[in-house]
Amino acid sequence: MNRDLLTHLPVIVVVARRGGFALAAAELGMSPSAVSHAVRLVEERIGQPLFARTTRSVSLTEAGKALVETAGPALQDIAERMDRIRGVKGRPAGLLRINASNIAIPLAVTPVVAAMAERYPDVTVEIVADQGLIDIVGEGFDAGIRLGEMIAQDMVTVRMTPPFKAVIVASPAYVAKRGRPRDVADLANHNCIGYRLVRSGALYRWDLNDNGKDVVVETRGTTVVTDSLGAVDLALAGVGLAYVFEPLVRADLAAGRLVQILPKTAIEEPGLFLYFPRRASMAPKLRAFIDTAQEIGRASMRTPGRVA
């Protein structure tokens, strides 16, 4: 096979995954013109167009899809084997791509990445915040981090945090002005900060415990966000009631900047988990991340009040 073809196959795979030349160029550290040249060269060697291009989008042709379906897994396998070789020879190295929900970054990712930077300077951890669920393998990620209940059963999982509760909070200023809701039904009379699901576009309904019964509550209010951290900021500003995971507001509750509303309605979530396909755990860079996360998790379990 022509050497130029092999050299440029990774570019084809990244363009297909990112759906555009500019995004692929940014990920690869190349100029858009260099990416375009690589694609054009492979198309000339194969004798068929690989991408259908318009002013707004780039999509795979039938030939392009066949090539990516063949080359993508092969290139991934080569990359993993090279990482293993480097790991045997010395320290873990390479780019570790992790897709995580926004809340996972402060609750689970930051302490691990901080430790990784000291222990494994040859590993670059790229974290992509994403509120929805994606195919981490198809999108080129080594692992993902989500709530345990959201992860496909065919994935290997590693616990990143203990279970935690989803709670309703408000600022003392809001409570002084509007009072506290008396029960779940009274939430309808309060300004509740909404949360829109990015992938579906629907408004999230609050999962609560109402006198021992799990209920799903539709709320209404003057503000809607797509990020739990934004809901916390709005609650601190006295805008309304926020429904968030307790570790995100633990310090604010302890300091009195926020107060918990209807504490008996809080439900427990399973916690955050790292997940990845089974074969990926053999890569030294991911193994290093897993070992570091587990070490930090054990330390946090021994220290009350902390969440890794």
Q: What is the pLDDT of residues 79-113, one digit of tens each?
A: 666 666 655 555 788 899 999 988 899 999 999 99
Residue 245 scores a pLDDT above 60? yes
Give tens-digit pLDDT for 4-58.
677 788 888 888 888 888 888 888 888 888 888 888 888 888 888 888 877 677 8
> Which of 92-106, 162-176, 253-267 is predicted least confidently?
92-106
In terms of Cα–Cα distance, which of 135, 143, 151 is closest to 100?
143
**Average of per-residue pLDDT values in the chain:** 86
Q: Which residues contact 33 (CB under 8 A, 6 or more apart)?
A: none
Residue 181 scores a pLDDT above 80? yes
The Cα–Cα gap between 259 and 235 comes to 10
Decide which of 159 and 234 is more confident.
234
Residue 302 scores a pLDDT above 50? yes
Angle at 222 between CA 221 and CA 227, to 5 degrees: 85
The Cα–Cα gap between 144 and 226 comes to 19
pLDDT attached to residue 173: 97
pLDDT attached to residue 55: 67
**Rounded percentage of the chain residues whose pLDDT exceeds 70:** 90
The Cα–Cα gap between 221 and 203 comes to 11
Q: Which residues contact 34 (CB under 8 A, 6 or more apart)?
A: 25
Give tens-digit pLDDT for 124-140.
999 998 877 778 887 88
Q: How confident is the model at residue 206 (pLDDT cuts 50, 70, 90)?
A: very high
The Cα–Cα gap between 193 and 235 comes to 8
pLDDT attached to residue 124: 93
Show the tokens assigned to 284.
């030294």
> Which of 64-68, 204-208, 246-250, 262-266 is predicted least confidently?
64-68
